[in-house]
Amino acid sequence: MASSSEGGTASQDVDRSKLPVCIVCIGMAGSGKTTFMQRINSYLHTKHREAPRTIPPPYVMNLDPAVRSVPFESNIDIRDSVKYKEVMKQYNLGPNGAILTSLNLFSTKIDQIMGILEKRCLPQEEAATPSPKHILIDTPGQIEVFVWSASGNILLSAFASSFPTVIAYIIDTPRTLENTSTFMSNMLYAISILYKTRLPMILVFNKTDVKSEEQAVEWMRDFETFQAAVREEEEQQREGSGYMGSMLNSMSLVLEEFYNQLSVVGVSAMTGDGVEQFFISIEEKRQEFETEYRPEMEKTKRRGGESES
């Protein structure tokens, strides 16, 4: 992913192993994304209280302009600089249009945002307190407004140009496992986000206190198990030409390589189960960012510079 910000030059002079990792939480409305943000924020603050001198608290950003309140304290909040209702009124927009326009307005200040992030989050040799190891970023529940917009691309590119950046795609496990077509729809959403952002991704199967993620993982890892589930659903419905089943089976084969690129974690945002494993996966993806994604970004930037000259 090409960088759209000139930020990142400051971070190039720092030991990259000491840079904080940006965790960008993306998920459909109702997936429990904000509760998950609260849980991982609480987890890191608990770790900080246990070892205040060695484990710093996270740096938190809220990029959802339409949310009324969030159950965590944000260091940077889009609502402080862009008033969603005023945008809706001034530009005569609906809810989604106002969210998109708010993000567009916010992204025009990307240099200021990155300046604050680098000042607060880059390691400082003489700093009295250690710099954050994690930057938590909450995004709007309307996935398409963030992921497929120019402003979303600008923000993600800027983050990735300065810090290791990982996408956490939050999935509502009980709803996803209602049937094979719902599961496949979620996987297609995930693959589209992965290839649009070109950033390391972790699939976070949330709400495991209601339903375990084991069946979803089995469907991902074992094609025959998924195929059997599709056949069972077709037999129960006893209608249709079998076109849907054939399509689902074909798509699961196509996505086999995609599944291999993903880390999968089952988490309960309500109870905290799986959060520790999530942060283990984050460290793995941080390494993946440095070895696979960052070199590709640098190549893209160099090609862009050569074409301009």
Beta bridge partners of 202: 168, 263
pLDDT at 266: 97
pLDDT at 126: 66
Residue with the two structure tokens 């995004």? 139
Bridge-based pairing state of the strands 165-172 and 201-206 = parallel
pLDDT tens for residues 100-125? 999 999 999 999 999 999 999 998 76
The pTM score is: 0.90
Question: Cα(238)–Cα(161) distance, rounded to whole angstroms?
Answer: 52
Confidence band for 240, pLDDT divided at 50, 70 and 90: low
Give the range with max mean pLDDT: 15-19, 66-70, 106-110, 250-254.
106-110
Cα 306 to chain center, whole Å?
Answer: 31
Q: Mean pLDDT lowest for which of 4-8, 217-221, 227-231?
A: 4-8
Radius of gyration of the chain measured on its C-alpha atoms: 20
